[in-house]
Structure 1
Amino acid sequence: MEMEIIQHKVIQYRYQIVVAGLGSIIMAFFLYAAPRLVSYFWPLLASTTVLLVAIIAFGGHSQSQLASTQAHGEKAGEGLLDYVANSRAVAEHHHHAYAAEQPHKFE
């Protein structure tokens, strides 16, 4: 009786059991391979870490610098929007002027 219940549960959760088994095998492989990969790529990892620490240490922004940068960015964005709106108005003007000059041909 108990074996039937266990077999039924195993069949019911067979996909989850397979995924858990494959996940365990993959995790074991990574734990086996990780030291070899880290030892191979350690110069790259070390130089990247040093670069990131230098960027954080020497390139840090204070809140006032950040606020002024955001305000400048908003003004630049407004100028870009004005330019695009003006370009569109000029293009529409040229299109209407060109259309008025050309006679319509209907064949």
Structure 2
Amino acid sequence: MEIQQLLLKFKFHILITSTFSILIFALIYLAPRFLDILKYFWPLLLSTALFLVAIVLFGRISSPVTEVSGEGILDYVAGQSEELQPHLHELHEGEGESSKVE
């Protein structure tokens, strides 16, 4: 009688443990072997390794950049060089005076 009460008390623990054990056993039994996975994906793994080696080699071989990256493109996108700033300022002042309504 005591054993039945203990079994009823721990029935969820026993159920969860047995389900987990069956699941682990099924995964081990049905899962493909590691070498099978390696045989299937070896071209992908090799090409990825070669690509990473090429990145490291190009990083060491290339000369360091002397100009701040993107400085030229920012000047181009902004469209206003330092030489044009005084002229643009004069232009805007002239527009302000002519647009006044008396």
TM-score, normalised on structure 1?
A: 0.40
Bigger RCO of structures 1 and 2 (CA < 8 A, at least 6 apart): 1
Q: Which has the larger radius of gyration?
A: 2
